[in-house]
Amino acid sequence: MDPSAPPRAPGGRRNGRTTSRNGQELRTYARERLIESRLTPNAISMVGLVGNLVAAALVTQRLFFLAGVAFILGSVMDTLDGRYSRMSGKGTLFGAFLDSTLDRLEEGIVLAAVAGYFAAQGEDFAAAMCVVAVLGSLMVSYTRARAEALGVECKVGLATRPVRVVLLSIGLIFAKGAGIGDFELLAPSIYVIAALTIVTVFQRVWHVRNELRLAEAGAQSGGKAEEL
């Protein structure tokens, strides 16, 4: 055995470095092939839309577990399109606009289907909370967009989109009749989303208020310094 050779881990691996390097090379190769393909960020966005439409249709059929899986897959595609856009350089201004628009639409479609289910079951309060959740989600997105138009970064708050996706996914997969244990987490997940989105809107309004006040104070102090 060559004493100068790097020590091998059990199973013949050199401290796991070979496996790590091979995995990294494989990811790099896959990423380069994906970038060279004709796939566009807009196509990924549309696949995400289809996934959420399927999820909504499955909710109407009371197939909650499958709806949860479709919703998760569609939401994953929603996160991939922006990342792929930056990675591949294929992104466009319209693509960014389309991505944001479809994100709002997809979330609303699934929540509307859930609201329809609750209404059919006679659960009026849960159906009303779905409406609050939709409105709150839209306001969370609007406050960020409006803040950024004013030059203020606004990503604060509890109910960001990934959090809302996780909560709704849990609710769907562990809904009554989904087939995974004796759970009923759909209504509670809606209540949590509704509450957190309202809190997040107030968090973002407060954040923007403080940031704009700081900017105005800085501008005023800068103006006085120039006068001196």
pLDDT tens digits for range 149-176:
999 999 999 999 889 999 999 999 998 8
Q: CA torsion 80→81→86→91, rounded to 10°?
A: 170
pLDDT for the residue numbered 96: 78
pLDDT for the residue numbered 19: 58
Q: How would residue 118 be classed by pLDDT, with cut points 50, 70 and 90?
A: very high
Q: Is a pLDDT exceeding 90 seen at residue 39?
A: no
Average pLDDT over residues 41-50: 84
What span, in angstroms and rounded, lies between the C-alpha atoms of 61 and 67? Answer: 9
**Long-range contact pairs involving 85-92 (C-beta distance under 8 Å, separation at least 24):** 85/41, 87/31, 87/35, 88/34, 88/35, 88/41, 89/35, 90/35, 90/40, 90/41, 91/41
Q: CA quadruple 149, 152, 153, 154: dihedral positive or negative?
A: negative
What span, in angstroms and rounded, lies between the C-alpha atoms of 143 and 71? Answer: 25
Q: Is a pLDDT exceeding 90 seen at residue 3?
A: no
pLDDT for the residue numbered 167: 95
pLDDT for the residue numbered 45: 82
Q: Which of 3.30.9.10, 1.20.120.1760, 3.30.565.10, 3.40.50.2300 would CATH assign to domain 36-221?
A: 1.20.120.1760
Threshold 0.85, pTM exceeds = no
Query: First-to-last CA distance in the chain?
Result: 79
Q: Is a pLDDT exceeding 90 seen at residue 61?
A: yes
pLDDT for the residue numbered 26: 61
Q: How would residue 67 be classed by pLDDT, with cut points 50, 70 and 90?
A: very high
Which residues, 6+ apart, have CB-to-CB distance to 19 below 8 Å?
A: 13
What span, in angstroms and rounded, lies between the C-alpha atoms of 169 and 64? Answer: 10
pLDDT for the residue numbered 99: 80
pLDDT for the residue numbered 121: 92
Specify the range with the lowest mean pLDDT, choosing from 33-47, 59-73, 115-129. 33-47
pLDDT for the residue numbered 42: 78
Q: How would residue 8 be classed by pLDDT, with cut points 50, 70 and 90?
A: low
Q: Where are the domains of the chain?
A: 36-221
Closest CA to 69 of 175, 195, 188, 197: 175
